[in-house]
Amino acid sequence: MGHGERKEMREWIAVAWAPLLSLIFVIMGSCFFYFFVSIHLHHEGVDDRRLGIFHSSYFAGMLVGSWISDKVILRLGHAPACGGSALVSGLSMLAMGISSSSFLWIVARFVQGVGVGLVYVVVESWILGCASKGMRGKALSVYMIVLYLTQVASQIIVDGVDLFSSVKPYLTGALLSWLGLFPMWISGSSAPFFEPGHAERKFWKICKHSPLGVVGGIGSGVILGCLYAFIAKFALVFGYSVALLMGMTLWGSVLGQWPMGWLSDHWNRSKLLTVNYGVLASASLVIFFFPNDLTVTLIASLVVGATAFTLYPQSIAVACTPGGGRSGGAQLSITSVTAVIATAYGVGLTLGPLFLPFCTQSWGCPSLYGGIALFAAFLALLGITILRIDVNK
């Protein structure tokens, strides 16, 4: 990295630290609570189909939060939108501690998802709006490193909190989320300018602008939705530590972010995304065939993390490229593109946990990774097809 790039990075960090710190608190609370819900429901003997519904309600909320995000940001501004979302997220976790009613939990998980989805788009649009075109890949890699290091840290909280206490898990999740209220309020840094016209999002226009970016958003959501919802059960079934297996997967995601961000700024982003699908499919097949070998599973989990968790930022980078990662074309509003890719991601997150139980019932718990391998291979073929169509044009 040259002197000019280092200076540009320092200037970007001076503006981006506050939204990133808010993100850390909100995601640490929501990620801790996510795995608490998985472990708690497994302990209660809840079947895969009901478990998928509980998690899908959260992701459906993220979908709605992403969809309404640009209108909320336009009306309230970045900092108030982030603070209000953190508040709502914490309150929803406390509500789940009041009753074990399935209906209440589904509604509360949905409301929490709305808040978290809003926080994602607020932070992503802030950090991308403050970055130049030439460093958006690196800016996204920093964002994802922070995000996944936070999720790694949440595993420590999972091990450190009594998950079967009647109060502690709910208070822990809520308090962490509420800490996200403060950084953006006290920093004094200005959010990127948001023109009223940016809220006039045209979903199909952006799909046409960058089909590979939108497909990547949906695909990354399906894959991560399955991992988040069922990796804890996979670990428990095979006698592994949930924190160890998820921790290794998340460490892979952290290690993969900067190299992928650098490659994204120096290589064809559409081709990079397509190659990533193929590597993910290969690593997932290894775990599918050798689920009882802890060493093989952990090593392959690092590769799964490095590929699966970089699909979303790569999809955003592709969509934010002039022409949407295709030859020629214009640059669309970053906030609108970010909101649409986040919405596509939310669609995938919602669908993944609903469909995977059909695989686990037929082929057992290892089908978590077998299903991911098949889906990633399908996305790779789809990416190759889209790239060939662009070349033929």
Residues 224-256 pLDDT 10s? 988 888 888 888 888 888 888 988 998 898 888
Our count of domains for the chain comes to: 1
Q: Which of 4-13, 40-49, 255-264 has the lowest mean pLDDT?
A: 4-13
Cβ atoms of 367 and 359 closer than 8 Å: yes
Tell me what pLDDT residue 206 has.
74
Does 63 fall in a domain? yes
Percent of the chain whose pLDDT exceeds 90? 24
Cβ atoms of 386 and 211 closer than 8 Å: yes
Tell me what pLDDT residue 327 has.
43
What average pLDDT does range 300-314 have in this prediction? 92
**Distance in angstroms (rounded) separating the CA atoms of residues 207 and 209:** 5
Q: Is the pLDDT of residue 293 over 60?
A: yes
Tell me what pLDDT residue 24 has.
92
CA terminus-to-terminus distance, the chain? 36
CATH of the domain at 278: 1.20.1250.20
Does 197 fall in a domain? no
**Distance in angstroms (rounded) separating the CA atoms of residues 132 and 129:** 8
Has this prediction a pTM greater than 0.75? no
Cβ atoms of 107 and 87 closer than 8 Å: no
Tell me what pLDDT residue 148 has.
79
If phi over 0 gives left and psi between -120 and 50 gives alpha, with beta otherwise, what is residue 379?
alpha
Does 156 fall in a domain? yes
Q: What letters, b where the CB count within 10 A reaches 16 and e where it falls short, cover 22-52?
A: bbbbbbbbbbbbbbbbbbbbbeeebebeebb
Tell me what pLDDT residue 197 has.
45
Percent of the chain whose pLDDT exceeds 70? 85
> How many other C-beta atoms are found inside a 10 Å radius of the C-beta of residue 384?
14
- What are the tens digits of pLDDT across the range 111-168? 999 999 898 888 888 877 776 666 666 777 788 788 878 887 887 787 777 777 778 8
Tell me what pLDDT residue 328 has.
45
> How many other C-beta atoms are found inside a 10 Å radius of the C-beta of residue 165?
12
Per-residue DSSP letter, 393: -
> How many other C-beta atoms are found inside a 10 Å radius of the C-beta of residue 278?
17
| Token representation of residue 160 | 């450190």
**Distance in angstroms (rounded) separating the CA atoms of residues 260 and 305:** 12
Phi/psi at 191 (nearest 5 deg)?
-75, 160
Tell me what pLDDT residue 335 has.
65
Does 193 fall in a domain? no
Does 301 fall in a domain? yes
Range of the domain at 369: 3-187+203-392
